[in-house]
Each structure stands twice: as structure tokens, then as C-alpha cells.
Homo-oligomer: A and B are copies of this chain.
């Protein structure tokens, strides 16, 4: 596959020229989504070449029976798979009697894909010569409506170039799809009914086991040069598919078009999914293609109005950050607290599940700053709603008394990962979930979530940490044995600094919130104490653990140790490692990785990122200088944290390099795997690299702080944030920074420690 074939452009992702080897990668890169559903950029017409078909409905999953070589007690029986949903984009096409298939055309030229991120649509255009000699020009535009989020629309135009042509459009909807990621090659969808109502068609299918019902629908309208033609001539039905037929005669130079409205209505939102689908079609038809497109452009304009980042003088960097922001908005709109941010969003099946600690550790800051604060709150509520399952999960592992262990990977709150070293041992995820509550309150100033819901989550997490820590007689302190930290290149280690520190912090933070809720929200306090049966005696046990938590530290190096055994390793820096050995996760066996000092992603430094103000800059620098040289950044979540810390430490070259790596990870296919889908959650890390890294944005004591820095490659950059209902735009230039406020109240921010007050709708240059 060609790397680096995407044209640099400020606002669009563009591919030019048809390369069969790029089809699967482009299917990922040109994916579209609207938060409720999404799909890979598969061709509408038949394509007999290599393709990875994917269309996804938010929240609809299948619990696939676990596949392992050797069962360990405690493994979950099921793995929630991201589910390839019925296909509604399909349009078979015949031209002068020949089935149209780009893979077997005599010639394809001027092929171009464009994903217009500014306006939220995907377009494909090309000219083709068929085997029968007919030459055609094709333009296909497709989008998933941002507002009417159960619908999408395709406008497929064909212009015969050298002859008149008889063109047959055969649009269909089909529930007979399969998953690439299926452990036992089972079918995941059971077809229930296939219905027609005039030009509307409906296929209703139900997932096995989970019993989600989804109706996939279509409505088609065919025209030649704008003159709309009649109804379908023929209907072919099977038990899981329905296909219509429209035949048109287009003269040379005339445009034969089909507009296909399609989408999904599911039992997550409707009792009667078929009649709901009928209503969605009616709404979309009432607007028509042009109005829907205008609505789409308007909707995305609003998104960009709030979340755009501009970079002046570096098109690739500009394209990178916009691609990241665009994909985050396509994946999660924050409207529905049952949804979350899957690691591949709506662009592939890999990893399964929709929710990882990525959400709390990486994504929440983006959604807090670029959306209404309800959006971030919905992500917190998602975990609150799954608290009972997290308590069950902990109970399976032997914890008691309402202790919760949130799952490593989940769709519905149940754990579905099955590698013991991750499933059972990567328990730090519990800490990120508590940290997100703290972070939300710090940024938004909205404390109400804590007494309403958050405190219950915190109590369950504190309970877990207290039970999980054990007393070491040898150390005369509490230890946490047998964990995997964020650095998954070490497994089953003792006293991972990040985990121990988070555990201690979680308990202390929970105790503080208990005191605050007790003092200020008495009624909530009583309710929560009643519900959780929490006693003072238990709290004092927690405190004992937090007070006497062991944190491994090297006097010699003056750094906290990633884990007890770190200094026993052969400390050869990445720099001194032969290039032929990398990436180590492809070149080395697992045991060799484990006993090496190489770090997949920020681990101790992740702790310094979360708790930056607990440490001095000198300490940060010492730890960064100690650990970064051992870090191979083989996780998509690694470069962003390092970019931010390099910026804080004034290492701007490094910060810029890390930034490029995180922002163009998929566009430039660094890991040679983009055909499997995009790395969605790390895209939020890219946003952080600019806002928190280069911009130096922090919130302390309810006030915004900035320390603007600019890579020498850039003329300037800007970003906007929503801070407590006011919109602040920060534009950084090499020598100055502008702060422009859209908001009704003056806002005092701190720039490199100095207070600067911006008037309502005012601008200040520093």
C-alpha cells in the first residue's frame, strides 16, 4: 500500500487516482459518521476487488463467545463486538447491459475522493470506460445528516460521455452482512421482516443474543437532467434483502441521477422501528437533497465555529488537526449518554467494545472545551449508569462490599476483554474514571454531578483500591502487587508508580468529596450513605491505605520508579537500539519486550500529566529525561502526552515532532494499519497537544491559565474554548497572543502567570 497518498489541503481529505491497493485504507480515511451511526467509504455499486465493508449503529453490538487458547478463571464469556450493520448504501448499476464494477472497467480516470470536513460530506468522482465501450462520468456524494441523525443520503450521478446509454439503477438494502471480526464465524443478525410501501423499503433484523432490532430503510428517486421519473419497475425480495429497479435512458451528456435516502431506526430509540423509519423517510423527503445538504453544511459550520483550530504556514499540520477534530465529532456528538467513543469509532471493528479508559484520560478534555458541558457530563453519566456492572465485575474477581472495577473494554458495562494481564491487571483504568470527575469539576465548575452521581462512583472505586492494596510486612507499607500500568509492555509488575499514586489520590479525593458533600449537600450525603452502607470505620481503613501507600523511588536517579523491578533491567536507551529491531511489538517475542526497559506509552509520565501541579518543573524534567529515552511510543496514545510535556519543558523541537506524529498518525499511516480503521481516541490527544501543550492552557482555582508557545515551523495558530459558557478564542503568533472573548462577562485569564482581563466581546493582545 502507498503511504502518504493523501493530498495536503486545509479543509479536505483528497485522494487522486484510482489505486486498488489503497481502497481499504481510503475506506477508513473517508469514513463518515454523525455520532448516531457511521460507515466506511465503501462504494455504492458492486466492487469485486478487495474491500472491507462496514456500517455501524451507535450502541448496537453483539456479544461474541470468547475465544482463548487457555481459559483462566474470571475471563468474561463474551466479547462485545462492534457490529457490521445491514447495508443501506448499495446500488447495483447496469449500463447498456453491463454490470458496473470499477474493478473490471476497461479504464478509470480522473478518480478523486474528497472528504469535505468543513461541510461534512464525502464525494467520489471519476470517468470510466466500460468493457462494452460506454464511457461515463460519475459523481457520487454522500453524507449522514448531522441533525436528522437516523438518515443519510446518496446522490449518484451518471453522465454518458460517448453514447446514449440505458442505465439501470438497482438500489437495495440488505441484512445479510457478516463481521470480519467474528470469533466463530457466526451470523450476528437474524432477519425478521422485509417490507415495501411504495418507494419506501424496510428490512428489519434483530441481533442474536442482545436482541437489538434495527430497521434499515431506503427511499429512491430517479431523474434524468432533473426530470424525476416514475416508480420502481420491479421488486426483488428475499428474507433479508429487498432490491428495486429503475431503468432510465440518458442521452450523451445527460445526467442520470438516483437520490437514495437511507439509514437506521433501532429499538434503542423506538418501539416500532418500521413506522419510525417511515417517519424518517418522510422528514428527509420533505426537505429534499438540497435542503439536507444545506442543513449539513450549517450543522458542521456550527461545529467548526466552536472547535476549529487553525494553523498558519503548515498545511499538513492544519489538515492533521482538522481531520482529528472532524473524526471526533463524527464519532461522538454527546447527545446520548448510552453511547461512548470507540477506539475505532465508526470506521472499523478492531478492538471491539466502545469504551476504554481513553475516554476519561484523553477524550473528555476535548469535549469539555469544544461542546456544551452537558456532553462531557454525559460521558461521566455513562460510567455512573454502569456502576452496578462494575461492582459485579469486581465481585467476580473476589472483591466485596460494593467495590467496583470498571471494565477494560465494554459496550454495556460488562467486561469483555480476555487477556489476564490486561483484563485483571490493568486496573489503573479505575483511577482515570475518578480523575475525570475531578477534571470535569475543575474545568466546568459544575459540582452538582458529585453529590448527584459521582460520589457513588468514587466510593466504589475507593473501596476497590483499599481492598486491592495489601500490607507488605517487608516494606511496612501498603503495596499493590500484580498490575499492568498504562505501559502494557510490562505485565504483572509490583508497585507501578502510576497505579499506586492514582490509588492513593482516588482515596484522598473521595474522602475530600465525602466531607464536602456531607457539609454542603446533606440530603445527598444521607441518601448515598444509606445506599452504599458506608461507615466511618471503612473510611478510616481507606485513609490508612492512602497514608501508607508505598511509592517506589530511586534515590540514585531521584525519580519515582515505574515499578519495583525497573532498575534491574538493562537500561539501554531506544536511541541505542538497532533500528532493525523496531517496532519491538512486531520484531520481538513477548517475553523479550517484557524484560526490556522499553515503554509503550507514558506511564510514570501519565501520572505527571494528570497531576502536574503536584510536582515541580524540575521533577517533571527529571522524570521526562529519565523515561522518554526508553519510550518507543508504540501506542497511539503516547506522542500526545509527550508533546504536551516537551512543550511545558521548552523542548519545542520534540514537542513539534510528537505533534506531527499524533496528528497525522492515520493520514500518513504511521503504523501501516489504517485499512483496519482510524485511531479515534488518540485524536483527542492531538487536540490536547495544541491546547494544553503549545497553548499551555490549564485551569487552576477556577481560572484559565495559558503559556503560549509556537513551533518555529508555524506562523501562527488559534483555538477556541468554551469556558463556563463563554467562548474564548486564543490566537498565538510568534511574538504575541490575542485573546478574543465572545461572552457577556469579562474574563480574567493568566498568561505566563500574569493576569489579563478580556472585556465582553473584547480582544486583548499580549
Which residues of A are in contact with B by a Cβ distance under 8 Å?
66-70, 72-74, 396-398, 418-421, 424-425, 470-475, 479, 481-482, 491-495, 564-565, 567-571, 585-592, 594-595
Contacts and interface: CB of A to CB of B under 8 A. Distances in A.
A475 B556 CA distance: 13
B592 A398 contact: yes
Contacts of A491: 491-492
A552 to B, nearest CB: 11
B70 A419 contact: yes
Contacts of A481: 565, 568-569, 595
Given A565-B481, A568-B475, A470 B70 contact: no
This protein's copies in its complex: 2
List the 8 closest pairs (A to B, CB-CB), nearest first.
A74-B589, A424-B591, A482-B595, A474-B567, A72-B590, A481-B595, A68-B69, A472-B568
Contacts of A69: 66-69, 418-419
A647 to B, nearest CB: 32
Given A68-B68, A481-B569, 12 more contacts: A72-B589, A73-B586, A424-B589, A424-B590, A473-B567, A473-B571, A474-B568, A479-B568, A481-B568, A491-B491, A492-B594, A564-B564
Contact of A420 (B473, B493, B587, B590): B590
A69 B421 CA distance: 13
A568 B594 CA distance: 21
Contact of A568 (B419, B494, B570): B494
A331 to B, nearest CB: 24
Nearest to A564: B565
Contacts of A567: 472-474
A202 to B, nearest CB: 37
Nearest to A585: B73
A73 B421 CA distance: 16
A418 B71 CA distance: 12
A561 B471 CA distance: 18
B590 A74 contact: yes
Contacts of A586: 73
A595 B470 contact: yes
Contacts of A568: 470, 472, 474-475, 479, 481, 494-495, 564
Contacts of A589: 72-74, 396-398, 424
Which of A72, A419, A491, A595: most chain B Cβ within 10 A? A595
B398 A74 contact: no
B425 A74 contact: no
B591 A74 contact: yes
A114 to B, nearest CB: 37
Contacts of A425: 591
B473 A592 contact: no
A370 to B, nearest CB: 34
Nearest to A398: B592
A72 B570 CA distance: 22
A589 B68 CA distance: 15
7 contacts: A66-B69, A74-B588, A74-B590, A396-B589, A397-B589, A420-B590, A482-B595
Contact of A494 (B68, B421, B424, B565): B565
Nearest to A586: B73
